[in-house]
Amino acid sequence: MAETILVVDDDLDILELLKMNLEPEGYNVRTASDGESAVQSACTDPPDLILLDVMMPHKDGFQVIEELKDIEETKSVPVILVTARGQTEDKVRGLDTGADDYITKPFDLREVTARVEAVLGRTRPIKYINPLIRAMGEGFSEEGLEQLAGHLQAAAAIQKKLLPEQAPRLDGFDIATLLQSSTSVSGDFYDFIPLSETQIGIVLGDVKGNGIPAALLMVMIRTALRLLCHEEDTPAASLKRINDLVARDTEADLFATMIYGILDTETSTFTYANGGHCYPLHWNNARSIEVLKVGGMLIGAFEEATFTTGTCLLAPGDVLVFYTDGITETEAGDAPVSDGNHSESMRSEQDDIHEDAILTDIFYGSDRLAACLSKNAALSASALCKAVVSDLARFSGSTQTRDDRALIVIKRDV
Amino acid sequence: MNLDTTIGEENISTLHIEGKILGNASDAFRKEMELQLQTGHDKLVVDLTNVPLIDSSALGAIVTTLKSCQESGGKLVLLNPQKAVQEVLEVTHLATVIEIYDTEESARDAFM
């Protein structure tokens, strides 16, 4: 989601200049031309960052910062002060008051975007974990907050490193992946684990929940699976161990759905187990879609859960697709029923039979994904990924994503 | 989403929900169930008749509450989930651990 910047300056030309400079960078820009309306605007709808001119009549930048720091909703909004050249005192006073950075006038526009991005990069994780901090109570110190923010950044970095950059090359198979994150730390993940010369483990999962706990859970699942998959004979046994580990060590509302399977390039079979995840799709040589319905309990909520191993034989040209619900739950762009209130009023007017039709209109759904797969099954794995992405963009009218999306396409060579 | 809780015979709380349980609505849903537990109501019927969709955080709330209810000797049951919700319950296999009923009477009988 685009971040919002509130730009405050009494010089309307500068306001316009900054707006024109920042909007193409993907930010939402709001403006205020005096201190009073800046405070009001920030309180009504706290922005992600404020670019604040110091020298303004009536209420200057320092007074604005002091007021904002006293208000619960705005006290953690980062502020970059814009000061006149050479006013070192201003800079010192500004940083003392709680400004996060400063820019001197006249400024270089590239410097403005660089500083904005640097400050947002620093404060983004703090904003992200604020709900967690609130849950932990009032007594939480500022040092603790910074420490946690640091941990989250580390977790995000670890996660990025953990995700394989490229799908592995395998004899006789063409594999491509897609991962689109809606936040700095993604809940969706995938992994490829080399098991032997002819076998590779394939993982696709979706950690539910937010922030550090979810990020840590993802790292924990990935690491644990990498270690224990070598010890277990079947994917079902591997998932069972992961489940027991997570169920024992985490709260019940922290859980994941995932598929773990082994692709054997010699026998062209895919052996898999499913922990509550969306069913994979198999486009087979009969030119039809088979849904791989061997399912199982979601991972991490119940210690007693057991799993089943399923098998799927891949003929030449067959395609296997794994996806997360961020794909099937992509909402339609300009559908008349896309907003909640509207659909509720429709429900009262129509009978239940129409409910399915309404839902089919709201969400992309697995049927559309299956249709897209059938239509493009002749393409390469990476072209198929791209075809799904453009189909989603067409359906939703946007290239942005509200939820994380992950996709793995495995195609056996013809 | 609209949420309305009624407390009936045998201290059974029924949460009547109307609309999608997504995002902020999931938080409200979670808090309402927590409130019921805190006030000693651990016999919960979650009426999903008018819920076209739920998200994963609402699912998490159901799992957590289900476990809390079981620990205190109570129970959480679902009433009449619609197609999309039923599908989520089946894919996640939650349908195998949560009791699901079609009618309010049979849901209430589950506590007798």
Cα-Cα end-to-end distance for chain A: 41
- The rounded distance, in Å, linking the Cα atoms of A289 and B82 is 25
How far apart are the C-alpha atoms of A236 and A218, rounded to whole Å? 19
- Token reading at A148: 């946690």
Q: Cβ of B92 under 8 Å from any chain A Cβ?
A: yes
Enumerate the residues of chain A whose CB falls inside 8 A of the CB of residue B91: 257, 276-279, 295
Angle between helices A61-69 and A88-97 (to 10 degrees): 10
pLDDT of A382 reads: 95
Least-confidence region, from A179-183, A286-290, A322-326:
A179-183
pLDDT grade, residue A89 (50/70/90)? confident
Higher-pLDDT residue of A106 and B101 is B101
* More confident: A127 or A139: A127
Which of A326-335, A346-355, B83-92 shows the lowest per-residue confidence on average (mean pLDDT)?
A: A346-355
Per-residue pLDDT of chain B (112 residues; tens, 9 = 90+): 899 999 988 899 999 999 989 878 888 999 999 999 999 999 999 999 999 988 888 898 999 899 899 889 999 999 999 998 999 999 999 999 999 999 999 999 999 8
SS3 B17: strand
What per-residue confidence (pLDDT) applies to A254? 79
Taking an 8 Å cut-off on Cβ atoms, the answer to whether B84 and A298 are in contact is no
B52 CB neighbours in chain A (<8 A) are 343, 347, 355, 358-359
Establish how many alpha carbons lie within 13 A of residue B30's alpha carbon, considering only the half-sphere containing its beta carbon.
17
| Angstrom distance (rounded) from CA B67 to CA A243 | 16
Angle, CA A80 vertex, CA A76 and CA A83 arms, to 5°: 145
CA distance A358 to chain B (A): 9
- Residue B101 has what pLDDT? 97
Query: Predicted confidence band at A336 (pLDDT cuts at 50, 70, 90)?
Result: very low
Across A393-412, average pLDDT: 88
- CB count within 10 Å of CB A198 equals 13
The DSSP-derived string for B88-100 is HHHHTTGGGTSEE
Confidence of residue A361 (pLDDT cuts 50, 70, 90): confident
Q: B-chain residues within 8 Å CB-CB of A347? A: 50, 52
Least confident stretch, A84-88, A228-232, A373-377, B19-23:
A84-88
Residues B107, B46 contacting (CB under 8 angstroms): no
Please indicate whether, in this complex, the C-beta atoms of B92 and A298 are within 8 angstroms of each other. yes
A254 neighbourhood in chain B, CB within 8 Å: 60
ipTM of this predicted structure: 0.85
Residue A252 with chain B: CB contacts under 8 Å? 60, 63-64, 67
d(CA A243, CA A169): 30
Chain A residue with minimum CA distance to B1: A340
In whole angstroms, give the CA distance from residue B49 to residue B16.
8
- What are the beta bridge partners of residue A272? A261, A310
| Minimal C-alpha gap between A272 and chain B (Å) | 15
Inter-chain CB proximity B93 and A358 less than 8 Å: no
Res. A162 pLDDT band, cuts 50 70 90 = low
For residue B77, what are the β-bridge partners? Answer: B45, B99
Q: CB contact, 8 Å: A135 with chain B?
A: no
Q: Are A37 and A64 in contact (CB under 8 A)?
A: no
Instruction: Indicate the pLDDT class of residue A208, thresholds 50, 70 and 90.
Output: confident
User: Worst-scoring range by mean pLDDT, A114-128, A134-148, A217-231?
Assistant: A134-148
How many Å lie between the alpha carbon of B86 and the closest alpha carbon of chain A?
12
Name the more confident of A345 and A58: A58
Separation of first and last alpha carbons in chain B: 30
Report the distance separating Cα A391 and Cα A389, nearest Å: 5
- The answer to whether residue B18 neighbours chain A at the CB level (below 8 Å) is yes
Is B52 close to A257, i.e. CB distance below 8 A?
Answer: no
Output A185 or A95, whichever has higher pLDDT. A95
Which of A2-6, A375-379, A399-403, B60-64 has maximum average pLDDT?
A: A375-379
Q: Do B52 and A302 touch (CB under 8 A)?
A: no
Task: Give per-residue pLDDT as tens, A381-398.
Answer: 999 999 999 999 999 988
Q: What is the mean pLDDT of chain A?
A: 83
Confidence of residue A218 (pLDDT cuts 50, 70, 90): confident
Task: Specify the pLDDT at position A186.
Answer: 62
The answer to whether the peptide bond before residue A47 is cis (omega within 30 degrees of 0) is no
* A412 close to A268: Cβ distance less than 8 angstroms: yes
Q: Which chain B residues are closer than 8 Å to A337 by Cβ? A: none
Q: What is the pLDDT of residue A358?
A: 59
Please report the pLDDT score of residue B44 as a whole number: 96
Alpha helices in chain B, H assignment, sequence order: 24-38, 56-71, 83-91, 104-109
According to the model, what pLDDT value does residue A270 have? 97
Among A301, A201, A196, smallest CA distance to A259 is for A201
Which residues of chain B lie closer than 8 angstroms to A350, CB-CB? none
Q: What is the pLDDT of residues A250-280, one digit of tens each?
A: 776 778 999 999 999 999 999 999 999 999 9
pTM across the whole model: 0.66
Do B64 and A340 make contact, defined as CB atoms within 8 angstroms? no
Task: Kindly state the tokens that stand for A387.
Answer: 């075809």
8 Å CB contact between A65 and A58: no
Nearest to B12 by CA among B36, B31, B35, B32: B36
Does residue A339 register a pLDDT over 50?
Answer: no
Nearest to A127 by CA among A75, A51, A166: A75
SS3 A89: helix
**A208's tokens:** 């539910």
Which residue on chain B is closest to A206 by alpha carbon? Answer: B56
Is residue B59 within 8 Å of residue B81, measured between CB atoms?
A: no
Q: Which of A381, A393, A395 is nearest to A166 (CA)?
A: A381
Q: Does A310 touch chain B (CB under 8 A)?
A: no
Q: Which residue is listed with tokens 């999608």?
A: B20
